[in-house]
Chains A and B, each alone.
Chain A
């Protein structure tokens, strides 16, 4: 078990470009979560999957954001037409199906939009 893996660790992109992040959860975890963290703030919930089903999306997740978990294993988060306000740390976490025991987080992907 290598924990939750996120790639890339850092991404610098020009405004208007599309970016995609990948998350590989702990293999036996059914749930996968995406959070966003801006400077000086706690993580904010974006969306989560149970197996391949996306069960909830936050209002923070605008139409430019899309997440997938096609085979119930890894997940991708895509941001289209990036804006400077998208600059943040994007955190992925996974948990057992109940989730109440807490999550295991990855190291995050830091996005900088210039």
Chain B
């Protein structure tokens, strides 16, 4: 069975600082990895995804993530955050054995302070 661990429930940072949100997964087969963002009282919006190929994936809003198979990690990074990046971020995994159902982590609340 697949699972996702988001190591930090809350990450406070100052505006224009870099940020890294950590995600580790477990799965017995080849995986597909995703990061979603959720603003208050909204649904989830896809930030980026890793399906295959280059391990460095670039997404919307200046975010990027790196797939590290040996460390079973898919950490999300942004070199300079804005106030508008304040939101909940979810890492998710799917694989063929689960028929491509997404399994989510518990989320990381990113708070960007002025």
Contact = CB atoms under 8 A, between A and B. Distances in A.
A45 B94 contact: no
Interface of A: 4, 6, 33, 40-45, 48, 55-56, 91, 93, 95, 98-108, 110
Interface centre among B4, B51, B104 (most CB of A within 10 A): B104
A102 B34 contact: yes
Contacts of A55: 99
Q: How large is the interface on B (under 10, 10 to 19, 20 to 34, 35 or more residues)?
A: 20 to 34
A108 B42 contact: yes
B29 interface: no
A22 to B, nearest CB: 15
B42 to A, nearest CB: 6
Given A41-B106, A41-B107, A42-B107, A102 B46 contact: yes
A102 B103 CA distance: 11
Contact of B106 (A40, A45, A48, A100): A40
A9 to B, nearest CB: 8
Contacts of B92: 42
Interface string B15-57: 0000000000000000010101000011111100101000000
A42 B99 contact: no
B14 interface: no
B43 A107 contact: yes
Contact of A33 (B34, B90, B101): B101
A45 B102 contact: yes
24 contacts: A6-B43, A41-B106, A42-B92, A42-B105, A43-B44, A43-B90, A45-B102, A45-B103, A56-B101, A95-B100, A99-B94, A99-B99, A99-B101, A100-B94, A100-B100, A102-B32, A102-B49, A104-B46, A105-B36, A105-B43, A106-B43, A107-B43, A108-B41, A108-B42
